[in-house]
Amino acid sequence: MLKSGLVSMLIGMSVVFIFIIIMIFLMFILGLIDKRFPPEKTDEIVIQKTISLPGKDANNQKEKIAAITAALIHYRNRIK
Amino acid sequence: MLKSGLVSMLIGMSVVFIFIIIMIFLMFILGLIDKRFPPEKTDEIVIQKTISLPGKDANNQKEKIAAITAALIHYRNRIK
Amino acid sequence: MLKSGLVSMLIGMSVVFIFIIIMIFLMFILGLIDKRFPPEKTDEIVIQKTISLPGKDANNQKEKIAAITAALIHYRNRIK
Amino acid sequence: MNKKIIYYFFIINFFSLYTFAFARSDTMKIDQRILDFLMSTGIFNMGIGSYIMISIGCLLIFLGIVKEYEPLLLIPIGTGCIICNAPVIGDVNPKEMIAYLYTAGIDKPLYPLLIFLGVGALTDFGPLIANPKTALLGAAAQFGIFFTLIGAIVLGFNLKEASSIGIIGGADGPTTIFLTAKLAPDLLGATAVAAYSYMALVPIIQPPIIKLLTTEEERGVVMKQLKPVSKRAKILFPVCVIILCILLVPSAVPLIGMLMFGNLIREAGVVRRLSDVAQNALINIVTIFLGICIGYKMQAEYFLRLETIKILILGVIAFSIGTASGVILAKIMAKLSRDPINPLIGSAGVSAVPMAARVSQKVAQEANPSSHILMHAMGPNVSGVIGSAVAAGVLLSLFG
Amino acid sequence: MNKKIIYYFFIINFFSLYTFAFARSDTMKIDQRILDFLMSTGIFNMGIGSYIMISIGCLLIFLGIVKEYEPLLLIPIGTGCIICNAPVIGDVNPKEMIAYLYTAGIDKPLYPLLIFLGVGALTDFGPLIANPKTALLGAAAQFGIFFTLIGAIVLGFNLKEASSIGIIGGADGPTTIFLTAKLAPDLLGATAVAAYSYMALVPIIQPPIIKLLTTEEERGVVMKQLKPVSKRAKILFPVCVIILCILLVPSAVPLIGMLMFGNLIREAGVVRRLSDVAQNALINIVTIFLGICIGYKMQAEYFLRLETIKILILGVIAFSIGTASGVILAKIMAKLSRDPINPLIGSAGVSAVPMAARVSQKVAQEANPSSHILMHAMGPNVSGVIGSAVAAGVLLSLFG
Amino acid sequence: MNKKIIYYFFIINFFSLYTFAFARSDTMKIDQRILDFLMSTGIFNMGIGSYIMISIGCLLIFLGIVKEYEPLLLIPIGTGCIICNAPVIGDVNPKEMIAYLYTAGIDKPLYPLLIFLGVGALTDFGPLIANPKTALLGAAAQFGIFFTLIGAIVLGFNLKEASSIGIIGGADGPTTIFLTAKLAPDLLGATAVAAYSYMALVPIIQPPIIKLLTTEEERGVVMKQLKPVSKRAKILFPVCVIILCILLVPSAVPLIGMLMFGNLIREAGVVRRLSDVAQNALINIVTIFLGICIGYKMQAEYFLRLETIKILILGVIAFSIGTASGVILAKIMAKLSRDPINPLIGSAGVSAVPMAARVSQKVAQEANPSSHILMHAMGPNVSGVIGSAVAAGVLLSLFG
Ligand code: NA
Ligand code: NA
Ligand code: NA
């Protein structure tokens, strides 16, 4: 049984490394594609994104509301 | 088998049309009820709804936040 | 069968009362612990909580947005 | 124009195909086929019972939408009732899907327990922990359960059925459904509808009983403000109650365990994600499933019986006795206690959270506008949930 | 430094263990073990069919992401297709989980019905109720279903298969999946992919057919504004349709029932929680499950057949005939009606909500920029959903 | 007043009924009944083991809430452990519901796979794609798995058990649960608790090992900023990895497939609905179910064995060896690489996302406040998830 364990280590670590190495190879190819065909600049302008495109998920909403609230307090203070 | 297909077309289209025609008849009755007993104006005033009754669902929240943000920017500009 | 019903009432009401009385006893102990070791004041300041730590759940968000909106209207009126 | 040609060509084609179908099918006994189809419509396959049940389904939807009687349950139950009274014709069973959901979540009562998880996550036991002795009122109100159980036996129900009917007096939908599904599933339609209907009718059922048993002066008693409860106590409470339940009434562990698990994730503070989902997505999904599955037991053959009438009558008795028991114990406690106790908090012990507590508040304010007992009534109110879960456990261990 | 010693000690240890493993295992036929392992890789166990299907899966994902063809379905379907073409080796079945989800929700078609619940909760029948006669167009467009059914029989499919293929012309994913799962589950991959692909291709398939059958003048007709519909009518509508369906076509009750139940909780106004969860969490979860389960029927042995090509061809015919039938009936109605009717609203009767209605709007505006028929086209559009559900019910009761 | 009369009438009635019940029941051996009931309480039916397990459940809840050790899992696991140690009395099984959820989602490991779906949707593989070679560190750290597997064999476990124990070193809860449920379900309680506890203890376990193997200078190395990764690369990555997995290790397809499916819907951008639900409602619901189901395998008879102690010891060894292997390979890579590499990113290869990466960051900043390696450590961190899923696949295909 110990033998089986040793063999499983041998095979297991080998397969893990082979898998990861091929994966690395794939990622390098993805990197090359990115270099060869740089993606167009489709990202929305960051500021606009921060203000008007809140994510659906609760965390973003939270941040969003916090940001708006902060702005609100700021303008309140300006008024005073 | 082709015969069965033809019969199924015959029955199928007939049933679909009968179903839809009865449904149309029901909708006309609903329309008559609406004319006879016009519903009271129970809808909340739209503006109030837009501002103070945000839906629970993410999309409405999104719109809500966008609306508030827009207002905020408006007042910010007014302050400046 | 009526007998069984009466017995079940006897046992049932007794068990319910025993359960609840032990539960009351436990709650008194919890109360004593609170008195003996008053919890440190770890609660966030209420106002700050109300303004900047909206819950993730929709209801809180709703209240939150309502509160912010109210504030917004308030400041809008101040500006006018 | 050639467009017109195409267009007419199409119409001619359609009609010729239709006519051809007629012609060909004629040779194979078209009348028979049409007769067959007519025989497969609902109209020719439904008994009077199904029509009555569909009307009852519509009534439940009406009560849910227009009267706002527990709409979250009555609308799905009503729709389920309508759908499940569609006739089975040959191999085609229109309620197959609901039967499947029923097997998955009511036969082994998963849905009521998941709803209890959500209820736990939605419940604040703070008012109870702040004033522990009010928990007794939640125990007293369970008398309605056992009184009704005996009444049901007298009316000819067997012990399992009588238990399921008595538990209506616990005024907790999930507890009622859990116990009925275990002991007398065929009564599920009747007991669930009774439980939810009477919960919605609490503002009509309770006030006359309360007023009969109390004086205006008693109803106007002002209670001392509740002391605050630490986060620690709120976290320890659900764990203690689960363990107490295991030691004393293991058969109530499913109900109490899920209720308190829900409450623990609520109070823990570090698992907001789980608490949120239990309070929202999960309880809502399960409510939809539970509702239409109750409709499954509202098929004419289960529901249109004399028993259903008896159950509805026994149910309202259960609620009334429960209310009275709560109020009377509250009056006794008021006499023995140093601090003033408004006996109206007793009626909240039936649970029907938070409706019964609101009724207490409303009746108290009618008597004395400066008496605010809502939070005090929440103590017995949530205690009543625990009380009837324990009662359900006892009944399950006695007759299960 | 002693740190270096520990570090080297560790490396030496690792290598000695690895070497030791090699040495020991050598004695027990290490080559055999490695060979065994190689034999358990996918490369040595996959036929050409699996590679083709994986490519098709990638294509579907590409269409979903880049072309935005029904991405909510095509991305999960594509991924499911890739995963389900992984080889089973010995006892290890990589698609076990998907098979389990398939049994749970497609064998008894739970998923398509829950999606219909969500679709109902997302659908506003207002434009239909405001202009009831447009519902006829949603009936006419179902002609595509039966025409294709006959075509499929001619091409050698049996009646059950032909029904499942015909229903593609209904242009409703859940209806197609429901019927195929009941009548011809092995075709599920092909019919589901055809249904969703052609729904996405509606903007390409419909315009030429529409233009062939209409003149520019007809396409530019401006319609009167729709009258408003009361909340009451919107609430009564789904209840009436369920009951009508029970009376007339009980076999369509699962589809129509869930669709209208979803719409009822939407319009009721008092069960926002349920409506929200049906429109969001529930439909989204089920969409994920449904998508990957369709992949289960895209294993090479089910999908890589001549039949699949035939189904794809028949599917596009079904869509085309449906579109044409709708437009032609709309033209006839336009001639008979006092109020102006734009025949383009007929093509929306195939459903494919809301894509087909948008196509009508777009084509109309090309002809006459001041013709806004989107809301008018929504009537036939949602009526088409009901129409094909009824057609599915008829087919189920005839051949189920 | 007549109110008082009603009130006293009620009390008298209650007591007479209660007394009557006593009197009547007396004749039928009331002592026996009460004895029966006492015999059905938990106190008289629980062995010492159950009490110990309940204490352990409380401890897990304490660790979750107070120490914030993986509270999302440890609180449900602890509660499940308490509930599942309630005694079964006669036909009444308080853990019936949990057993049902267990059969539905752990026997065929649905829950861990759905959690992996959510994990995929929550994971950004960007930092890995930006610096591919760091993926090697996620491979090296898996050495802990196999080292521990051999240790477990030495301690007397069989091959299936040893694999389940070794996989703890993968530091991924779902992977551990998936493999254990397949190979050695009785150990599930122990391996799951070990996996989640040690993941929470990563900030305590890792730093001493890291410091032993590195000099302060090495720990303070500043790495170059990562290059940005295009959306296209992020979308292609999960698809490529699924296909690679099918070709090389089909037995890992369930884990890798669901992880990458989740990631695909995250990165696709066009299916926000699905990505949201996978990240929130679905993963949260499944986490609740998974947690209480693990409690099912923490019943005294499964958990209170010498094996559990061995597993806990082996688990911490697995984590330590994994950490060390990662750091050592990182040191080797640092020597060979042109760009500076901080060896601390190696320890993140064990996964335990994102805790291990944060530990790397913290230890690096202690050595050099201007060294920010969090994003660099995320590469090996997420690679480690893939690495242990592959390892689980190999073990499954060898011993499954
Ligand atoms: Na109760
Ligand atoms: Na349709
Ligand atoms: Na790992």
- The structure tokens listed for E385 are 């959903």
Nearest CA in chain B to E153: B2
Ligand closest to Cα of D175 equals 1
Report the gap between the CA of F257 and the closest CA in chain A (Å): 14
Contact (Cβ atoms closer than 8 angstroms) between residue D189 and residue D297: yes
User: Does the structure show a pLDDT above 70 at D145?
Assistant: yes
Tell me the C-alpha distance between D185 and D200, whole Å: 23
Put simply, the answer to whether F163 touches A8 (Cβ < 8 Å) is yes
Contact (Cβ atoms closer than 8 angstroms) between residue E246 and residue D42: yes
What's the pTM? 0.89
- The structure tokens listed for E284 are 């989204």
List the shell of residues around ion ligand 3, using CB closer than 5 Å.
F 170-172, 351, 384, 388
User: In this complex, how many residue pairs, one in chain B and one in chain C, have their CB atoms less than 8 Å apart?
Assistant: 31
Can you state the percent helix, strand and coil of chain E, rounding each to 5? 80, 0, 20
Amino acid letter, F8: Y
Amino acid letter, A16: V
D246 confidence band (pLDDT: 50, 70, 90): very high
Three-class secondary structure of residue F75 per DSSP: helix
B50 confidence band (pLDDT: 50, 70, 90): very low
ipTM of the complex: 0.87
% of chain D beyond a pLDDT of 70: 92
User: Does the structure show a pLDDT above 70 at C63?
Assistant: no
User: In this complex, how many residue pairs, one in chain C and one in chain F, have their CB atoms less than 8 Å apart?
Assistant: 26
Tell me the C-alpha distance between D94 and D91, whole Å: 10
User: Which subunits sit against B, judged by 3+ Cβ pairs under 8 A?
Assistant: A, C, D, E
User: Does the structure show a pLDDT above 90 at E195?
Assistant: yes
D89 confidence band (pLDDT: 50, 70, 90): confident
Phi, psi of F99 (to 5 degrees): -60, -40
Nearest CA in chain B to C58: B56
Ligand 3 centroid to Cα of residue F381, in Å, is 8
* DSSP of D144-204: HHHHHHHHHHHTT--HHHHHHHHGGGG--HHHHHHHHHHH-GGGHHHHHHHHHHHHHHHHH
- Residue/partner pairs of B29-36 with CB below 8 Å, 24 or more apart: B30/E129, B30/E232, B30/E233, B30/E236, B30/E237, B30/E240, B31/E129, B31/E132, B31/E233, B33/E232, B33/E233, B33/E236, B34/E229, B34/E230, B34/E232, B34/E233
What digits encode the pLDDT tens for the residues E2-35?
Answer: 566 666 666 666 666 666 666 655 555 666 767 7
Put simply, the answer to whether D136 touches C27 (Cβ < 8 Å) is no
B64 confidence band (pLDDT: 50, 70, 90): low
- The structure tokens listed for D342 are 């408004």
What digits encode the pLDDT tens for the residues D355-395?
Answer: 899 999 999 999 998 888 998 999 999 999 999 999 999 99
> In this predicted structure, which of A41-50, E261-270, F385-394 has the lowest mean pLDDT?
A41-50
What is residue D116's predicted lDDT score, i.e. its pLDDT? 95
What digits encode the pLDDT tens for the residues D306-351?
Answer: 999 999 999 999 999 999 999 999 999 998 888 899 999 999 999 8
Tell me the C-alpha distance between B78 and C14, whole Å: 70
Report the gap between the CA of E295 and the closest CA in chain D (Å): 22
Tell me the C-alpha distance between E93 and E98, whole Å: 10
Contact (Cβ atoms closer than 8 angstroms) between residue E337 and residue E371: no
Instruction: Say which residue, D354 or F14, is predicted with more confidence.
Output: D354
What is residue F7's predicted lDDT score, i.e. its pLDDT? 64
Among candidate residues D18, D365, D306, the one with its CA nearest the CA of residue D157: D306
Tell me the C-alpha distance between D262 and D280, whole Å: 12
- The structure tokens listed for A32 are 């090359």
User: Which subunits sit against D, judged by 3+ Cβ pairs under 8 A?
Assistant: B, C, E, F
Residues of chain B positioned with their CB less than 8 A from the CB of C79: 75, 78-79
Peptide bond just before E354 cis, omega within 30 deg: yes
Contact (Cβ atoms closer than 8 angstroms) between residue F68 and residue D270: yes
Handedness of CA D138, D142, D143, D148 (dihedral sign): positive
Cβ neighbours of residue D106 closer than 8 Å, sequence gap 6 or more: D177, D181, D185, D188, D290, D293, D296
User: Does the structure show a pLDDT above 50 at A44?
Assistant: no
| Nearest CB to A75; choose among B58, B66, B76 | B76
Contact (Cβ atoms closer than 8 angstroms) between residue F170 and residue F391: yes
Among candidate residues F141, F142, F166, the one with its CA nearest the CA of residue F152: F166
Question: Is residue A17 within 8 angstroms of chain F, CB to CB?
Answer: yes
Among candidate residues D196, B23, D292, the one with its CA nearest the CA of residue E239: B23
User: Does the structure show a pLDDT above 60 at A47?
Assistant: no
What digits encode the pLDDT tens for the residues E43-83?
Answer: 888 989 999 999 999 999 999 999 999 999 999 999 999 99
Residues of chain E positioned with their CB less than 8 A from the CB of B15: 248-249, 390-391, 394
Residues of chain D positioned with their CB less than 8 A from the CB of F293: none
User: Does the structure show a pLDDT above 70 at D100?
Assistant: yes
Three-class secondary structure of residue E268 per DSSP: helix
How is residue D228 annotated by DSSP?
P
Handedness of CA F44, F45, F47, F53 (dihedral sign): negative
Q: Compute the average pLDDT of residues B6-26.
A: 92
What digits encode the pLDDT tens for the residues E113-134?
Answer: 999 999 999 999 999 999 999 9
A52 confidence band (pLDDT: 50, 70, 90): very low
Contact (Cβ atoms closer than 8 angstroms) between residue D168 and residue D191: yes
- The structure tokens listed for D319 are 């609620």
What is residue B56's predicted lDDT score, i.e. its pLDDT? 39
Q: At what angle do helices D143-154 and D374-399 cross, to 10 degrees?
A: 40
User: Count of CB atoms within 10 A of residue C28's CB?
Assistant: 13
What is residue B34's predicted lDDT score, i.e. its pLDDT? 83
Phi, psi of D92 (to 5 degrees): -95, 110
* DSSP of chain C: -HHHHHHHHHHHHHHHHHHHHHHHHHHHHHHHHHHHSPPP--SPPHHHHHHH---SSHHHHHHHHHHHHHHHHHHHHHH-
Q: Which residues of chain F have pLDDT under 50?
A: none
- The structure tokens listed for E387 are 């129409």
- In sequence order, what are the beta bridge partners of D89? D92
C48 confidence band (pLDDT: 50, 70, 90): very low
Residues of chain E positioned with their CB less than 8 A from the CB of B42: 231
User: Does the structure show a pLDDT above 80 at E319?
Assistant: yes
Radius of gyration of chain C (CA): 25
Distance of CA E108 to the CA centre of its chain: 17
Residues of chain D positioned with their CB less than 8 A from the CB of F85: 246
Q: Compute the average pLDDT of residues E134-153.
A: 93
What is residue B6's predicted lDDT score, i.e. its pLDDT? 86
Amino acid letter, E343: P
What is each CA distance from A24 to A17, A20, E83, F132, F133, in whole angstroms? 10, 6, 21, 5, 6
Ligand closest to Cα of D195 equals 1
- H helices present in E249-271, as ranges: 253-268
Ligand closest to Cα of D356 equals 1
> In this predicted structure, which of A31-45, B7-21, C28-42, D278-292 has the lowest mean pLDDT?
A31-45
Mean pLDDT of chain E: 90
Ligand 3 centroid to Cα of residue F138, in Å, is 7
% of chain D beyond a pLDDT of 90: 74
Question: Is residue B15 within 8 angstroms of chain E, CB to CB?
Answer: yes
What digits encode the pLDDT tens for the residues E375-384?
Answer: 999 999 999 9
Cβ neighbours of residue D1 closer than 8 Å, sequence gap 6 or more: E215
In this structure, the dihedral spanned by the alpha carbons of residues D70, D73, D75 and D79, taken in order and rounded to 10 degrees, is -150
What is residue E288's predicted lDDT score, i.e. its pLDDT? 96
Residues of chain E positioned with their CB less than 8 A from the CB of D288: 117, 265, 274, 277-278, 282
What is residue A58's predicted lDDT score, i.e. its pLDDT? 43
What is residue E224's predicted lDDT score, i.e. its pLDDT? 87
Contact (Cβ atoms closer than 8 angstroms) between residue C16 and residue D395: no
Residues 10-29 (F) with a CB less than 8 A from some CB of C = 17-18, 20-22, 24-25, 28
Residues of chain F positioned with their CB less than 8 A from the CB of E7: 213, 328, 331
Mean pLDDT of chain D: 90
Q: At what angle do helices D71-84 and D188-213 cross, to 10 degrees?
A: 150
Report the gap between the CA of F294 and the closest CA in chain C (Å): 27
User: In this complex, how many residue pairs, one in chain B and one in chain D, have their CB atoms less than 8 Å apart?
Assistant: 27
User: Which region, left, alpha or beta, applies to residue F255 given φ > 0 means left and ψ of -120 to 50 means alpha?
Assistant: alpha
- Which segments within F278-370 are labelled E, that is strand? none
Angle at the Cα of D100 from the Cα atoms of D98 and D104, rounded to 5 degrees: 115
The H or E element containing residue E101 is helix E96-102
Q: Compute the average pLDDT of residues B20-34.
A: 92
How is residue D88 annotated by DSSP?
P
User: Does the structure show a pLDDT above 70 at C40?
Assistant: no
> In this predicted structure, which of C15-24, D21-30, E284-293, F307-316 has the lowest mean pLDDT?
D21-30
Ligand closest to Cα of D392 equals 1
Put simply, the answer to whether D246 touches F82 (Cβ < 8 Å) is yes
Mean pLDDT of chain A: 67
Ligand 1 centroid to Cα of residue D348, in Å, is 9
What is residue F228's predicted lDDT score, i.e. its pLDDT? 85
Tell me the C-alpha distance between F351 and F356, whole Å: 6
Put simply, the answer to whether B10 touches D21 (Cβ < 8 Å) is yes
Question: Is residue D305 within 8 angstroms of chain F, CB to CB?
Answer: no
B68 confidence band (pLDDT: 50, 70, 90): low
Q: With helix as H, strand as E and coil as C, how does F247-290 read?
A: HHCHHHHHHHHHHHHHHHHHHHCCCHHHHHHHHHHHHHHHHHHH
Question: Which residue in E20, E22, E33 has the most chain A C-beta atoms within 10 A of its own C-beta, making it the best mutation to test that interface?
Answer: E33
Nearest CA in chain A to B59: A56
Residues of chain F positioned with their CB less than 8 A from the CB of D246: 42, 46, 54, 82-83, 85-87, 94
Ligand 3 centroid to Cα of residue F134, in Å, is 14
% of chain E beyond a pLDDT of 70: 92
| Nearest CB to F394; choose among A15, A31, A38 | A15
Q: Compute the average pLDDT of residues D124-150.
A: 93
D239 confidence band (pLDDT: 50, 70, 90): very high
- The structure tokens listed for C9 are 């009432």
